[in-house]
Structure 1
């Protein structure tokens, strides 16, 4: 259940005008992340949300990526998320079987949350991070986010409130919202508005942004069920069990690790609509159970896999994040996680401008950075979707045949399933490899960022890349030392850095210098790395420039930027 975020959480929208620095439309994981990130930076935020306080979300995302967990660590709620979801000892594995209760073909071993920080030997246990991934359904994740938001000053959530439209002027935006219980319309004045309002985003429509790409890749008939007897039929339960047989291929996701399950029936080409497929027969074929097996449908969560990216992420004082900006097949959980990356990117840029230490042009970096990488990652997801669909559609008839011939088929299919899918469920490249190569506020040095795949990446200090992981002398991860603005990582304590520190202070920039143990310099490649608060490298070198002013100007969006309202 959603705890009350603060005293204003369930207050009716009754005042004629309410004022906030940023208005966020939508209180899902992306909107809440953005709002918390802004509020913790001292920016006042109002969120409007159509759901009632405590109304649960649908059972959508089941995976919080390592990179998202790093963000939640910075926001102070990583452990809170770790402590909820599946039982502490429930296997987070991905199991490939003929049916959910049938013969196991292969298994991707992923540690349970009890062992998440200590496990070794798995495909995602040696990643360069202090925060590995976390398997948790959105119905457990969102209440934790709401509870955390309750303790943050300057953040209010207006439940049962619908956004309708907004107008923009020189001094900000005025949004019209409506209380869904009373029907009363009112206005909210803010400096900026951000649409985190999902696939049918009204904010996206208001800024004339259009989704482009592939509208239909696959239809998935998805059903949330209560089946307390299912776990006893599984000889070795898993977080995700994927059924591969010639009749019906599907996915069974453990929601509570006991009796609630989400079943995805991946429709075949000949299945024209959701309604044309017998839901009950499909569920039983995926589970591998007969007509006497009892279960109850809790909700129908049917969805269409797409690859759609908006042609703009911003217009003037309005921005879009998450599903409002991009939709694709939910492989690797990268719908919600990409939205969380959007949110943390935008939060610090808005705060930099609103706090007065960066030029308005710094806001241009949001679309310049996030739109290209979103386009690229969406293609990774689409390519993976095509391979997985092909695998599901070519399951040999002999896969359930007893004897040596069946054994050989099962071994081949199981290994192929492992090799393909370990890339998406243990996707180090998507977590740590993406970079910004065309940002107006990054000081590039001519070096090319290393390429990455869904599964693989090369740590690099090349500007635009994620700051390479390192540990400080006290054992903390370097990311824990990054401040709210820029942090200079010094790998040689004898290098003078005061000229840059003075230039930053003169502009009011939150700035810190952190010394890194000498043993870490090899991974860095340079003696000085300037990191942004979002962990991306903004500049690197072996000495501070004689005149650091041009560098500081570029980082703050002041290189040739107009001193005017947002364009």
Structure 2
């Protein structure tokens, strides 16, 4: 088309549909690798996001540290001295049952006591709502060279061929249609993803686990009514109405989740005002303002595939689940950071096209695992809410004993989701075409809360501090990083082999004595996303085959080896 409703084609290496946290993080990482990016977003620039995610996982913060935004995020959100505790009460203003202590952001790096103060990383988790997080990511991304941001632009479809993708997008204000040519496209366009629908991927799983009537309120007088030490999250447990409340600004804005019961199938079937007052524990005279209604359905849905040719899915476009442990947005960001270094390798020319097969092979199985963790915990929480005793608010010794028992149960059930080391550090990639197993051990199992540090290929390289005071991850290069624990091991053959493909390789000689016991090999080769790709006592004889597998040529290498073995048999 050449009329006034169609403009000339725009171009970029990668087109991203959706400028939420997942799309923005993907753009940030791609541009750090010299990849040009075009982002298509329906909202206006800096239009406030919904009040959604309240938690940035440690693994996410590790990557934000590398991308240069971790401190900006640490400086935002709740007041610096506001406790990030999770407290369980009969109502928000009622009797406290138990408390999970979590350091405020002022003490996040220095606190050493409590279940959430042990994190083996330079970047522990951070509690911050998406209304504060997303604008920081947007401002940072918009200022990067190589980023084109098209706001108020509706993605309308695409075609693809052997060399790229041609997408069509419409300016929502002028009606002008734009053609966008890119090498690859990623749908980060949420649960109703148009990209997912066009590639024919299907969401599979449990469509409804629970409905949640959620209300974002302004209530300046509420904090004064809450007894004791403030908290970030409040769980209300009483026989009338169970719910959860999050402090948003630490002063007057709050997000209140009313967990509907099975016999309450519709959001409007429950009196919102009455339920909210029962959760807060306030009377009819208490004044508050509804800022917005944020009702949502808890699900466990995972797309049956994350890719069609040159088009990929990430974040809610690929999976939706109950956000226990705060792993909705964080899982999407993990998708983005897994995919971005693979796309970067191929666009830069040192990665083979087949390297991109690793994305679905790695992320889809992990998504299934994490979504089941979340669903199982959601079902336990539903049972716990149904089992709240009628006499939980009874005064006296009997009531005190009952509340202590309920408090212990609530603590044991929930400490794992709020101090979720396993979900952060325990997951591993197996069956990946670019992970080279050594046959020695299997990766250790993990739970929501617990994990065993390991250097089994596919696991996250356990963190430690270098002799010069830097974080191990701060010394990682943009491609692969070889950790050498014995300088006598000659790695020059690997350096020559990687140089032949222009593959970035950083050799890091480890001199500190404070090394986790999981490091039992003299050589540990790590990927840009901190997962171990290979380990050994010395380099393999066929070092070019190792490099070939790392850049995605494993299938061809195995076919060649099979052919040579067959020729040997024939001879």
The TM-score with structure 2 as length reference comes to 0.95
Counterpart contact for 1:220–1:267, Cα < 8 Å: yes
Once residues 6 and 217 of structure 2 are traced to their aligned partners in structure 1, the CA distance between those partners, rounded to angstroms, is 40
Once residues 216 and 53 of structure 1 are traced to their aligned partners in structure 2, the CA distance between those partners, rounded to angstroms, is 33
SS in 1 for 2:138: helix
Counterpart contact for 2:33–2:478, Cα < 8 Å: yes
Partner residue, 2:167? 175
Q: Deviation at 1:14? A: 6.7
Residues 281-329 of structure 1: CA deviation (Å, up to 9, x unaligned): 0000000000000000000000000000000000000000000000000
Q: Does 1:536 pair with 2:531?
A: yes
Q: Deviation at 1:13? A: 10
Counterpart contact for 2:101–2:116, Cα < 8 Å: no
Counterpart contact for 1:492–1:527, Cα < 8 Å: yes
Please identify, of 267-276 and 109-118, the stretch whose mean Cα deviation from structure 2 is larger. Answer: 267-276
Once residues 6 and 399 of structure 2 are traced to their aligned partners in structure 1, the CA distance between those partners, rounded to angstroms, is 68
Counterpart contact for 1:492–1:518, Cα < 8 Å: no
Partner residue, 2:343? 350
SS in 1 for 2:116: coil
Selected match of 2:286 from 282, 286, 293? 293
Selected match of 1:237 from 215, 218, 230? 230
Q: Does 1:226 pair with 2:218?
A: yes
Q: How does 1:63-462 map to 2 (within 5 A)?
A: 63-235=55-227, 236-446=229-439, 447-462=441-456
Selected match of 2:491 from 497, 502, 506? 497
Once residues 64 and 14 of structure 1 are traced to their aligned partners in structure 2, the CA distance between those partners, rounded to angstroms, is 40
Partner residue, 2:458? 464
Q: Deviation at 1:269? A: 1.3
The TM-score with structure 1 as length reference comes to 0.96
Once residues 340 and 484 of structure 1 are traced to their aligned partners in structure 2, the CA distance between those partners, rounded to angstroms, is 18
Q: Where in structure 1 do 4 or more consecutive aligned residues deviate above 4 Å?
A: none
Counterpart contact for 1:240–1:251, Cα < 8 Å: yes
Residues 470-508 of structure 1: CA deviation (Å, up to 9, x unaligned): 111111111111111000001112211111111111111
Partner residue, 1:34? 26
Partner residue, 1:6? none
Q: Deviation at 1:561? A: 4.6
Gaps of 5+ in 1: 1-11, 563-567
Counterpart contact for 2:7–2:176, Cα < 8 Å: no
SS in 2 for 1:378: helix
Once residues 506 and 143 of structure 1 are traced to their aligned partners in structure 2, the CA distance between those partners, rounded to angstroms, is 42
SS in 2 for 1:398: coil
Once residues 78 and 344 of structure 2 are traced to their aligned partners in structure 1, the CA distance between those partners, rounded to angstroms, is 35
Gaps of 5+ in 2: 558-571
Residues 326-368 of structure 1: CA deviation (Å, up to 9, x unaligned): 0000001101000000000000000100110011000000000
Once residues 301 and 63 of structure 1 are traced to their aligned partners in structure 2, the CA distance between those partners, rounded to angstroms, is 17
Partner residue, 1:7? none
Q: How many residues align?
A: 551
Residues 393-414 of structure 1: CA deviation (Å, up to 9, x unaligned): 1001111000011001100001
Once residues 490 and 459 of structure 2 are traced to their aligned partners in structure 1, the CA distance between those partners, rounded to angstroms, is 25
Partner residue, 2:473? 479
Partner residue, 2:569? none
Q: Does 1:522 pair with 2:514?
A: no
Once residues 421 and 522 of structure 1 are traced to their aligned partners in structure 2, the CA distance between those partners, rounded to angstroms, is 29
Q: Deviation at 1:435? A: 0.1
